[in-house]
């Protein structure tokens, strides 16, 4: 809807002076919500002493009632002065300030004058326009702007122009709430003027094409002023001209359910795209990597300081550059045509270095847009003490793991190395063949694809990735608990909670004992609890809150984003450690129950639990089809992990002090239970709810961990360390609550038992923090530098004679990688070529190992055969290793006893010879082994078709030769093969084929367990595996599902962007002229 309203030309309008015309374009949005402010705006315009002003009101939307309201206000304010009657034009949409202001290019005729572009919350001083015009002529400027002061207190400054660095970051010389003592009243050149109010030459505005159409809010002024500099125009601030600025934009966007996070992301997107669009071609290769580096460093710093939205906004801006390449190229093309000034001259006008870094040094916070957006409002400023505390934690993290950071994490327990090539990992993920154990056609674990993606991100540095996904999880947990402790609206209390979480010896003991699942729980649990709280709508604890939870339900859009974040977190976690998700769900359920007990909001807690269940369902879908492995008979055992881990028989003291491994001064951590238990007794209102929630959750989980460790529960739960991760989070909450409650509920209250009790709990905090300091002394958190996996790789890693397998069998506490439970506390696992990797942690869905390996172990145990080596030969088992010392559970000073009769039973086998090795293991070599891929000897070829144990036991199998070494399901070498039978030591699968001189040969069953290929006359041969079509379909579907979750987090408003880019003012006759009096032909 478009409409104009004006009256006949009055005698006063006919007597305007010869002064250059100024068209004041006021963009009005939602006048109903701020009619009083709008009255002051029109009153200020009516009081101007400049003689030749014409007012053009650009009203967004198409509401007739709004039109009438604006007309009524304009008429009322005009009647008290001799000013001309404003022209009111209704745009019919709200494309954003820039596009709305651009309508003056069509509605105004002529170039011999000026445009004064204004927001509808700016009130000008009576002489402002005159002073702006005079200074524009005096300085020969193209664009000038006023000095902004606060709305309610005009003695205090908001902004006097802005400086800008290479990266589009704006800086103001004005401190927040700075008193105006004329210290900034000198006319000066600036790089950016706020679009809230600026005067620009009409011909320059037309030459520039107005504001950038792709920018809706935030950043349109940076782009316009930067292009003005490129065209050779001066941009000047005129402090003598003053303007009061209300800053209503944030409130209006909030009314439209635009949360602050999305506004920050929008501002960052516009800033970065503007930098790439307007930076000169020679300087762009320098600016772009610096922009990437500075943004990543700033994001890390923002996360450390608890500004999660700020960090995410910066990273989102970087990610948005890729889909914006087309728009950036078009903007650069348009700028190239108007460029009059070399880029190096524009650079001289910019600030050297990083403006944001300088603000951090000065302990200042600044809005990332020149749209002042309530710059006078107070913001939470991170105290230097909080930053220093994070710095101390970072130093302790580096010192405590300095050997691991520099040399890499040792192969202890689950912390086995990653495969060397992310490319091979990606190929394996796309393949339908899972090589673990004996190998089978099955779905690949999602973790394989995620590790491959991580390897690509780290540019193939898999050692770095291994370090990041092990000890890098520790600071990730600290950041998560910082977000969780945001429930207390007190910076000091939050940082105390983070320090308490860092003091818990759980992660350091997990590193020492090689428990990757516990490290994952330590990192994930606080993030998960924080997101569950946010989804349910439980807000932060404030000083003047009412009894019960502070409920602050997010908008639907925000809740969708939180659900997507939780789904992504659960999806990644379930790919590596589904047991952690089980514990998080258990914690969410306990939160719901504690809400009913302590008087919290059961609705909010119920919503949080529902969100956790929904995220779990989403995580299951994200991990399809591999997740179906947990629907098998032993699915629950695969979820909760090895019984040796969960049934550790720890006592109460060990559970209380998180004693899952070595930890220096770990016993002092029990002092942190004092503030946890005292907090419910001394706190009030929402602080009492949170204190009760933390205490009850801790007590229940400690009890479950103790019972589960003693195998006293009817159903086995994940290992003790995972169950204790929520307890560590509760200790952090308790520490944060006691600090906040002492300042609010205790110190100001009537003296009684609460004061000494709270004081005692505060005294215990620094004593409980000593473990984190003590743990830093070793340099590797007591992790052994010589490991079982490392020795096995060094001694048994030679595959020059052919690929082979190692069978590890022994005490279940000493078996690394994925283990199969045998009996009487024994377990076994299979490792190819002695090179166990972290991917071996994922249990296989195939039961071939149980079918083929366990009968062999039964034969050894019962002594029914002395030729078990021959029975193992077709499977490529070359070595049998019995681990004795792993330097975690078993040490040379206190070794675990070797299972009774195990070593003797293998020693009696005629085909196995005891190989000299270290005291940490007993090694037997199978003299009858057959390479996993190779040509069978004549005797072995004859017997391969016979099948059955009797034929194998009676046959000498030596003499087979290795061939096609290193063949995988995605790649195979090519080698000349002679006539005979080519052996492949994997269970029979028709998808494997052998190609010789272009002829495809299908496999045949061999030895009753594996397969072989008849090579015929021989020739150049290579192995290949035919992937199922369903595998590609699943991979494509899985990628799409993960992208949907990521889009749910980013929530790109494509519809809004498309509508903004398609918005175009219909052809219309100008209603205002800069060369004469108002045009009356289009008045209605």
Q: Give the DSSP per-residue string, 175-206.
A: PTT-B-SSTT-S-EE-SB--TTEEEEEHHHHH
Helices (H), 53-196: 64-78, 97-101, 104-107, 128-139
DSSP assignment of 751-806 equals: SSTHHHHHHHHHHHHHHHTHHHHHHTTSSSTT--SS-HHHHHHHHH---TT---EE
Contacts of residue 585, defined as CB under 8 A and 6 or more positions apart, other chains included, come to: 612, 613, 616
CA distances from 486 to 481, 493, 761 (A): 8, 9, 21
Please give the pLDDT value at position 13. Answer: 43
**Rounded CA gap, 220 and 209, in Å?**
12
Neighbours of 789 (CB within 10 A): 26
pLDDT of residue 879: 93
Which residue bears the tokens 């490792």? 831
Averaged pLDDT in 10-residue chunks for the chain of 1084 residues: 39 54 85 76 84 85 76 69 72 79 84 87 88 89 90 84 86 80 84 89 88 83 90 90 78 54 80 87 86 82 70 80 84 84 82 71 46 36 68 85 86 85 90 87 89 89 90 92 85 87 90 90 95 86 67 81 93 93 93 83 88 94 89 82 71 87 73 85 82 91 90 87 94 88 63 62 73 76 83 85 91 79 86 83 79 90 88 92 87 84 89 87 92 90 75 82 90 90 92 92 89 90 90 91 89 56 58 57 37
User: Which distant-in-sequence residues (6+ apart) come within 8 Å of 861 by Cβ?
Assistant: 901, 905
Tell me what pLDDT residue 1017 has.
Answer: 87
Starting at the edge strand found earlier in the chain, the sheet holding 992-996 runs 975-977, 1019-1025, 992-996, 999-1001
477 with 530: CB under 8 angstroms?
A: no
What 3-state DSSP class applies to 68? Answer: helix
pLDDT at 647: 62
- Which single residue is written with the structure tokens 């030591």? 985
Q: Which two tokens stand for residue 834?
A: 């002695």
Structure confidence at residue 530 (pLDDT): 93
- Angle ∠(496,501,502) on CA atoms, nearest 5: 95
Beta bridge partners of 809: 828
pLDDT value at residue 741: 76
pTM, to two decimals: 0.79
DSSP annotation of 556: H
* Cβ proximity of 671 and 611 under 8 Å: no
Pull the structure tokens for residue 869.
Answer: 């080596």
Q: Are 471 and 409 in contact (CB under 8 A)?
A: yes
Are 959 and 937 in contact by the 8 Å Cβ rule? The answer is yes
Q: Which residues pair with 1073 in a beta bridge?
A: 109
Structure-token match 């003047």, residue found:
544
How confident is the model at residue 1, as a pLDDT? 37
For 4-262+340-354+1069-1073, give the CATH class. Answer: alpha beta
Q: In the structure encoding, which two tokens stand for residue 580, read together?
A: 């952690």
Beta carbons of 741 and 542 less than 8 angstroms apart: no
Structure tokens that stand for 751 in this block: 């003296």
52 HSE (CA, 13 A, CB side): 21
What is the separation, in whole angstroms, between the first and last Cα of the chain? 14
Lookup result for tokens 């998808």: 991
């Amino acid at each position: 809807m478009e409409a104009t309203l004006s009256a006949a030309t009055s005698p006063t309008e006919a007597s305007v002076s010869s002064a250059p015309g100024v068209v004041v374009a006021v963009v009005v949005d939602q006048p109903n919500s701020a009619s009083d402010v709008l009255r002051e705006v029109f009153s200020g315009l009516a009081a101007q002493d400049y003689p030749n002003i014409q007012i053009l009101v650009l009203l967004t939307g198409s509401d007739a009632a709004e039109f009438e309201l604006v007309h009524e206000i304009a008429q009322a304010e005009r009647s008290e002065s001799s000013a001309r009657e404003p022209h009111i034009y209704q745009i019919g949409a709200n494309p954003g300030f820039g596009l709305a202001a651009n309508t003056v290019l069509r509605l105004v005729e002529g170039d011999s004058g000026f445009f004064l572009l204004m927001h509808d919350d700016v009130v000008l001083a009576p002489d402002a326009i005159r002073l702006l015009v005079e200074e524009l002529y005096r300085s020969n400027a193209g664009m000038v702007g006023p000095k902004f002061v606060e709305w309610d207190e005009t003695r205090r400054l908001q902004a006097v122009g802005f400086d800008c660095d290479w990266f589009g970051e704006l800086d103001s010389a004005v401190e927040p709430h700075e008193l105006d003592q004329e210290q900034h009243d000198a006319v000066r050149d600036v790089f950016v003027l706020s679009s809230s109010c600026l005067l620009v030459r009409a011909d320059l505005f037309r030459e520039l094409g107005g504001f950038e159409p792709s920018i809706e809010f935030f950043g349109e002024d940076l782009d316009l002023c930067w292009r003005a500099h490129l065209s050779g125009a001066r941009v000047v601030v005129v402090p003598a001209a003053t303007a009061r600025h209300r800053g209503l934009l944030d409130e209006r966007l909030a009314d439209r359910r635009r949360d602050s996070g999305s506004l920050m992301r929008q501002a960052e997107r516009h800033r970065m795209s503007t930098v790439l669009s307007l930076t000169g071609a020679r300087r762009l290769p320098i600016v772009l990597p610096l922009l990437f580096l500075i943004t990543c460093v700033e994001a890390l710093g923002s996360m450390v300081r608890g500004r999660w939205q700020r960090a995410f906004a910066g990273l989102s801006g970087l990610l948005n550059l890729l889909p914006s390449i087309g728009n950036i190229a078009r903007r650069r093309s348009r700028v190239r045509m108007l460029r009059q000034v070399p880029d190096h001259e524009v650079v001289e006008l910019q600030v050297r270095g990083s403006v944001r870094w300088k603000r951090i040094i000065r302990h200042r916070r600044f809005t990332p847009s020149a749209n002042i957006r309530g710059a006078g409002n107070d913001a939470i400023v991170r105290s230097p003490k909080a930053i220093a505390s994070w710095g101390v934690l970072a130093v302790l993290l580096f010192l405590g793991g300095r050997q691991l950071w520099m040399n890499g994490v040792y192969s202890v327990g689950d912390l086995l190395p990653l495969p060397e090539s992310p490319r091979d990992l990606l190929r394996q993920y796309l393949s339908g063949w899972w090589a673990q154990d004996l190998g089978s056609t099955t779905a690949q674990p999602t973790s394989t694809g995620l590790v491959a993606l991580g390897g690509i991100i780290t540019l193939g540095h898999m050692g770095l990735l291994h370090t990041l996904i092990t000890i890098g999880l520790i600071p990730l947990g600290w950041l998560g608990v910082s977000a969780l402790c945001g429930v207390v609206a007190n910076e000091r209390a939050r940082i105390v909670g983070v320090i308490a979480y860092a003091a818990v010896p759980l992660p350091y003991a997990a590193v020492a004992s090689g428990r990757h699942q516990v490290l994952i729980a330590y990192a994930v649990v606080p993030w998960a609890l924080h997101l569950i709280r946010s989804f349910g709508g439980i807000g932060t604890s404030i000083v003047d809150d009412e009894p019960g939870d502070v409920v602050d339900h997010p908008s639907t859009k925000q809740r969708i984003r939180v659900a997507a974040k939780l789904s992504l977190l659960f999806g990644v976690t379930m790919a590596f450690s589904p047991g952690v998700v089980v514990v998080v769900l258990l914690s969410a359920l306990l939160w719901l129950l504690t809400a009913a007990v302590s008087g919290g909001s059961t609705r909010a807690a119920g919503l949080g639990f529902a969100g956790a269940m929904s995220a779990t369902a989403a995580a299951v879908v994200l991990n399809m089809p591999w997740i179906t492995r947990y629907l098998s008979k032993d699915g629950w055992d695969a979820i909760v992990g090895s019984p040796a881990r969960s049934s550790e028989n720890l006592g109460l003291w060990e559970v209380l002090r998180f004693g899952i491994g070595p930890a220096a001064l770990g016993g002092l951590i029990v002092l942190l239970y004092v503030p946890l238990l005292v907090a419910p007794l001394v706190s009030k209102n929402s602080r009492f709810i949170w204190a009760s929630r933390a205490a009850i959750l801790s007590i229940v989980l400690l009890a479950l961990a103790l019972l589960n460790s003693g195998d006293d529960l009817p159903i086995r739960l994940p290992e003790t360390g995972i169950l204790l991760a929520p307890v560590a989070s509760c200790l952090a909450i308790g520490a944060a609550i006691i600090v906040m409650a002492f300042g609010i509920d205790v110190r100001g209250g009537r003296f009684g038992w609460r004061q000494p009790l709270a004081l005692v709990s505060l005294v215990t905090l620094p004593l409980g923090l000593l473990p984190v300091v003590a743990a830093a002394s070793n340099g590797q958190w007591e992790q052994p530098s010589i490991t079982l996996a490392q020795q096995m790789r060094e001694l048994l890693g030679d595959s020059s004679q052919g690929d082979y397998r190692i069978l590890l069998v022994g005490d279940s506490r000493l078996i690394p990688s994925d283990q199969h439970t045998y009996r009487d506390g024994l377990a076994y696992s299979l490792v190819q070529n002695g090179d166990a990797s972290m991917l071996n942690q994922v249990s296989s869905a195939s039961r071939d190992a149980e079918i083929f390996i366990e009968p062999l172990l039964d034969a050894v145990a019962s002594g029914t055969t002395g030729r078990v080596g021959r029975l193992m030969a077709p499977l490529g088992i070359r070595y049998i290793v019995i681990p004795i010392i792993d330097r975690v559970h078993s040490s040379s000073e206190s070794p675990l006893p070797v299972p009774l009769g195990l070593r003797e039973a293998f020693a009696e086998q005629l085909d196995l010879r005891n190989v000299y090795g270290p005291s940490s293991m007993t090694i037997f070599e199978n003299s009858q082994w057959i390479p996993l891929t190779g040509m069978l000897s004549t005797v072995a070829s004859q017997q391969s078709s016979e099948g059955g144990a009797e034929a194998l036991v009676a046959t000498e199998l030596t003499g087979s030769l290795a061939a096609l070494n290193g063949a995988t399901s995605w790649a195979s070498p090519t080698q000349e093969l002679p006539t005979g039978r080519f052996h492949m030591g994997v269970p029979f699968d028709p998808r494997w084929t052998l190609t010789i001189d272009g002829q495809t040969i299908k496999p045949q069953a061999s030895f009753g367990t594996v397969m072989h290929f008849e090579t015929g006359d021989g020739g150049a041969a290579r192995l290949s595996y035919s992937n199922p079509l369903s595998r590609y379909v699943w991979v494509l579907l899985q990628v799409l599902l993960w992208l949907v979750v990521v889009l749910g987090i980013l929530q790109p408003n494509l519809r809004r962007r498309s509508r903004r880019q398609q918005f175009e003012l219909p052809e219309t006759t100008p209603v205002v002229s800069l060369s004469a009096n108002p045009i009356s032909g289009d008045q209605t």
